[in-house]
Homo-oligomer: A and B are copies of this chain.
Amino acid sequence: SRSLRLAVIPGDGIGQEVVAEGLKVLSAALPADVKLETTEYDLGARLYHRTGETLPDAVLEELKGHDAILLGAIGDPSVPSGVLERGLLLKLRFAFDHHINLRPGKLFPGVTSPLAGDPKIDFVVVREGTEGPYVGNGGTLRTGTEHEVATEVSLNTAFGIERVVRDAYRRAQARDRKKLTLVHKNNVLVHAGHLWTRIFERVGREFPEVTTDYLHVDAATIFFVTQPERFDVIVTDNLFGDILTDLAAAVTGGIGLAASGNINPSGAFPSMFEPVHGSAPDIAGQGKADPTATVLSVAMLLEHLGYTAEAAAVEAAVAADLAERSGARSTSEVGDALAARVSG
């Protein structure tokens, strides 16, 4: 019999609640002969306050022995901004070389968009996950004085760009519309921007069927709200991808529904799946959080591990649930409903 060794990092705030529902649906979706073995890791604000650690080396080692990671949310107001983000979430993305940060932007039937006119939205953002301004390269000089200088260095490599660009072309090639948009800011960030642009054009020659275009990041935000239908696959750098995918979540009905995968396609290290939303400490512990984003992240996890039919079943359950939603339900009521649909 097969097994799925899953590392679970509920994290902070609503992370615990939404992950519980994600696991419920995962269990319901997996084929009967697959044994789900979960190991929970208590990382986040609690561990940090207890020990000062964000990601102990031993835990990082153990995580490597898993097939995938399911993460809830990281971050708490009691911890200085950046400590858990850099020390835990980004550390995992970098240590496990999660260079494909995959974020669908899909408006499900029945979901209300804040945009007027009932737009059709179905694109996917392929965000680079291991480079750009996220590398943590920077510092301060004359700290705390009126002469302080702070730098942030964006690092971009041909190697790193080419692999994510090629992955995005492959995804575009596999979709109906076969359209790929590069988003950058190559009129200002000319060094990184032109490197992205050159590689985008060169790799494009391998995919003659894919239609391409380029948008500056500022212009892209305009089209996200005025013409979201124009997008099919988008490839972009780590920071622009961060910004655009929150905007994408907003126009497709909110971050309660936005899923993501931090993927290492080589399989050398486990990939990690997480909702795009944060830990939402204001509503934590109240059973109010919508677990749908986590459940859709579970669908991405299943897809990544080759459980294609099961992934489709989870997504279909979410689609059916969203189409029929009415009235407020608790976190676990949504999870129960989705698990029931998947099993039934």
A residues adjacent to B (C-beta < 8 A): 75, 81-82, 85-86, 90, 112-117, 133-134, 136, 138-140, 144-159, 162, 185-195, 197-198, 217-219, 221-222, 224-226, 239, 242-247, 249-251, 254-255
Contacts and interface: CB of A to CB of B under 8 A. Distances in A.
Contact of A246 (B191, B222, B239): B222
B192 A221 contact: no
A193 to B, nearest CB: 7
B188 A85 contact: yes
Nearest to A157: B149
Number of identical protomers = 2
Contact of A195 (B134, B140, B162, B239): B140
Nearest to A228: B114
Nearest to A248: B221
Nearest to A147: B158
A331 to B, nearest CB: 21
A225 to B, nearest CB: 5
A222 B249 contact: yes
Instruction: Pick the 7 closest A-B CB pairs, nearest first.
Output: A218-B246, A148-B158, A82-B190, A221-B247, A152-B154, A222-B250, A150-B195
Contact of A191 (B140, B192, B193, B195): B140
Contacts of A195: 140, 148, 150
Contact of A219 (B136, B187, B222, B246): B246
Contacts of A148: 157-158, 195
Given A116-B115, A247-B247, A251-B225, A239 B150 contact: no
A82 to B, nearest CB: 4
Contact of A250 (B116, B159, B189, B225): B225
